[in-house]
Amino acid sequence: MMGLLWGCSSNTYDETLDWSADKIYAEAMENLNNKIYDKAIGLFEKLEGRAAGTSLAQQAQLEKAYAQYKSGDPALAVATLNRFIKINPVSPALDYAIYLKGVANFNDDLGFLSSITQQDLSERDQKAAKESFDAFKDLLNRFPDSKYAEDARLRMRYTVNVLAQSEVNVAHYYFKKGAYIAAINRAQAAIDEYRGVPAIHEALIILRDSYGQLGLTQLKDDTQRVLAQSFPDQWDRELENFKKPRAWWRLW
């Protein structure tokens, strides 16, 4: 019985009990830098409690969110960042918190994953992409001169391209199924909502060919004229031969 009690007691021993806040932070950062994310997260959580109300506790919360993101749990990272943003509205690190929230939803391992799955972000659930865009937009509205602003602008541009291509992918799916009215609706939605992005080329081709399949000659000809004006070197290509531009993430 004594052995059992001793075993239980030893399992709850906290090695950080006599550590200073600075030592906990140093150990947590060492684990983070060595990619031992679970241990780093646990130490940052201890530091949040140990140094509550101090700038070190705020830093621990941000580092914990980063560790959660790097460990492959962006949803948990975003939850941590939302809490930070709510309780620290005047923090000097608020711009970084908003930026990291956008990055966590941005999914920057896309290139590696896509090389395996042959699937790009435009073919996935767009909820995270939209939330990423909104976070970067919030950053630029509130902190236009932040050192993270330029990267946020680039990521927003890519995200708009992704969202537009996602809409066009759906339109293409409907076209292949012979649901031409649905294809027209989705292609037109992409054209109306996302101007000046590469996916609009394919959207116009889908629109033209869908009108053609429905026998709507005037609308087909009108769309063809728009294609000729917008893409003078490529407007006449057939949808089945259409090749999408190189995926945006391959530019990284």
| Residue linked to tokens 């030893």 | 10
Q: Which residue has the higher pLDDT, 130 or 65?
A: 65
Whether the per-residue pLDDT at 39 is higher than 60: the answer is yes
Please give, one letter per residue, the 3-state secondary structure of 158-195: HHHHHHHHHHHHHHHHHHHCCCHHHHHHHHHHHHHHCC
The pLDDT score that the predictor gives to residue 252 is: 31
Q: Please name the residues in contact with 230: beta carbons below 8 A apart, sequence gap of 6 or more.
A: 200, 201, 204
Q: Dihedral, CA atoms, 105, 101, 131, 168, nearest 10 degrees? A: -40
Task: Please provide the average confidence, as pLDDT, over all residues in the chain.
Answer: 84
Encoded tokens for 235: 């407007």
Q: Using alpha carbons only, how large is the chain's radius of gyration in Å?
A: 25
Model pLDDT for residues 196-249, shown as the tens digit of each residue: 888 999 999 999 999 999 999 999 999 999 999 988 876 566 665 555 544 433
CA gap 76, 65 in Å, rounded? 8
CB-CB contact of 247 with 114 (8 Å) = yes
| Cα 15 from chain centroid (whole Å) | 37
Q: Is residue 226 part of a domain?
A: no
CA gap 112, 114 in Å, rounded? 6
Confidence of residue 17 (pLDDT cuts 50, 70, 90): confident
Can you tell me the mean pLDDT for 38-54? 94
3-state secondary structure of 12: coil
Q: Is residue 105 part of a domain?
A: no
The pLDDT score that the predictor gives to residue 242 is: 53
Whether the per-residue pLDDT at 120 is higher than 60: the answer is no
Can you tell me the mean pLDDT for 65-89? 96
Q: Is residue 249 part of a domain?
A: no
Confidence of residue 251 (pLDDT cuts 50, 70, 90): very low
Q: Is residue 62 part of a domain?
A: yes
Can you tell me the mean pLDDT for 182-186? 96
Whether the per-residue pLDDT at 31 is higher than 50: the answer is yes
Largest Cα separation within the chain, whole Å, is 90
| Domains identified in the chain, total number | 1
Confidence of residue 129 (pLDDT cuts 50, 70, 90): confident
CA gap 27, 24 in Å, rounded? 5
Q: Is residue 82 part of a domain?
A: no
The pLDDT score that the predictor gives to residue 195 is: 84
CB-CB contact of 93 with 61 (8 Å) = no
Whether the per-residue pLDDT at 48 is higher than 80: the answer is yes
Domain that holds residue 59: 19-71
Helix 180-193 to helix 199-213 angle (10° resolution) is 150
Can you tell me the mean pLDDT for 92-96? 96
The pLDDT score that the predictor gives to residue 128 is: 85
Q: Is residue 31 part of a domain?
A: yes
The pLDDT score that the predictor gives to residue 125 is: 56
% of the chain at pLDDT higher than 90: 65
Q: Is residue 130 part of a domain?
A: no
Model pLDDT for residues 52-63, shown as the tens digit of each residue: 989 999 999 999
Q: Is residue 55 part of a domain?
A: yes
% of the chain at pLDDT higher than 70: 80
CB-CB contact of 109 with 121 (8 Å) = no
The pLDDT score that the predictor gives to residue 250 is: 37
3-state secondary structure of 136: helix
Closest CA to 52 of 17, 88, 78: 88
Q: Which residue has the higher pLDDT, 8 or 190?
A: 190
